[in-house]
Amino acid sequence: MSLMRNTIAAAMLGALALGTHAHAAADPCKLEISGNDLMQFDKSELSAPATCKEITVTLHHTGKLPKEAMGHNWVLVSAADLVDVANAGMTAGLPNNYVPPADKRVLAHTNTIGGGDTTSVTFPTSILKKGGAYAYLCTFPGHNALMHGTFKFG
């Protein structure tokens, strides 16, 4: 019985050590965020250190509705441009991922996805200023009222 208890304890300690190592090894330049059918992101802030040369943001749609009804994207802008980019996105349409083509105010964006889907965008940090005021939003029509947050770099 004592040997079995020691074996279980050793296995648990090993698992804890692996879990701690895996968490410590997480890449701070690879960020994840989720959106749901209630028009909510699961995070109100994302941040990356100035040591990143590029940043990858992965968006998960945890809902069930299709992108035509409840699509989500992730769009990075200067904080001052959030409302204007959201308004412009409404008229850009789904074929353009609700982002006007060649809109210089859009620093990075994902495709628009539906329930159960995942998408990513990778962008160079050379487009960002350390400590700059950045925001992210979903530009699907009407979603930005609830689906937005602060992006910190530096």
Residues in the chain: 154
Give 81-86 contacts, CB < 8 A, sequence gap 24+. Answer: 81/105, 82/135, 82/137, 82/144, 82/148, 83/144, 85/137, 85/139, 86/137, 86/139, 86/144
Contact in structure between 35 and 43 (CB atoms under 8 Å): no
pLDDT per residue over 85-116, tens digit each?
999 999 999 999 999 999 999 999 999 999 99
For residue 99, being part of any structural domain is answered with yes
Q: Is a pLDDT exceeding 60 seen at residue 5?
A: no
Please give the residue range of the domain that contains residue 149. Answer: 28-153
For residue 122, being part of any structural domain is answered with yes
For residue 50, being part of any structural domain is answered with yes
For residue 83, being part of any structural domain is answered with yes
The whole-angstrom separation of Cα 150 and Cα 128 is: 14
Total count of domains within the chain:
1
pLDDT per residue over 20-49, tens digit each?
344 445 999 999 999 999 999 999 999 999
Domain of 147: which CATH number?
A: 2.60.40.420
